[in-house]
Every structure is written in C-alpha cells, then in structure tokens.
Amino acid sequence: GEDVEQSLFLSVREGDSSVINCTYTDSSSTYLYWYKQEPGAGLQLLTYIFSNMDMKQDQRLTVLLNKKDKHLSLRIADTQTGDSAIYFCAETLYSSASKIIFGSGTRLSIRP
C-alpha cells in the first residue's frame, strides 16, 4: 500500500545537525521529496531525489535514500532558528505521477 511514516517531533540545539527520517512502503516510487511548512505558510518544496539516486546535496541539505530499506533522510547542517518548521516526507509513484503521497510531518524545534 501507499504509506509514508515519519516521527512527529525532533528537537535540536542551534548549530547542530538535524536528521529527519522517513520510511515508505511502496517500492515503485519515482521521486521522493522533502517539503517544509513554516507557521501560516504553505508547503515549500525543499528538495527532491530521483528514486535511482542514493544521495543529493544542496548547500546545508543532504538527502540520503536507501532503496533496499525504503528509508529516506534529510540532514540539515548547522541548524538555525529559521529552520523551525514542519518537514514532510513525500513520494510520487509510477502508477500515479501527479499525486503526491505525504507523511504526517516532523515538527523540528530549535533550542538555544
């Protein structure tokens, strides 16, 4: 079935790295995504990775994909207060490429 799971909360000290994890069940994923939602704002696409890639790096963001374990992670280096938000893991499938399947979101809070 279509299922994307992620933990609900993560608290990180400012300046440390944040790692948000996600697992998915469907092996026919095409792309996997990380979206960010700040308070009062819409969903912003942070980054995405094609399913045949293992890693993607974009400035402070590193995405790791383990297809065997169906595990996706987002690492944010040097976490700042502006990174406080809800992060949603998501995927699209070959069978329905325009329908995004989201997880429940991980709320990242930054402590001084």
Partner 1 sequence: EAGVTQFPSHSVIEKGQTVTLRCDPISGHDNLYWYRRVMGKEIKFLLHFVKESKQDESGMPNNRFLAERTGGTYSTLKVQPAELEDSGVYFCASSQIPGLAGGSNEQFFGPGTRLTVL
CB of 68 to partner 1, least distance (A): 22
Q: Does 103 bind partner 1 (CB under 8 A)?
A: yes
Q: Where are the beta strands (DSSP E) in the chain?
A: 4-6, 9-13, 18-24, 29-37, 43-50, 55-58, 61-66, 71-76, 85-93, 96-102, 106-111
Instruction: Show contacts with partner 1 in window 54-83 (CB under 8 A).
Output: none
Instruction: Show contacts with partner 1 in window 40-59 (CB under 8 A).
Output: 40-45, 48
CB of 51 to partner 1, least distance (A): 10
Specify the pairing of strand 29-37 against strand 9-13: unpaired
**β partners of residue 22:** 6, 72
Q: Does 22 bind partner 1 (CB under 8 A)?
A: no
Q: Does 88 bind partner 1 (CB under 8 A)?
A: yes
Query: Token pair of 72, please?
Result: 């996706």
Give residues in contact with partner 1 (CB under 8 A). 4, 30-31, 33, 35, 40-45, 48, 88, 90, 92, 96-105
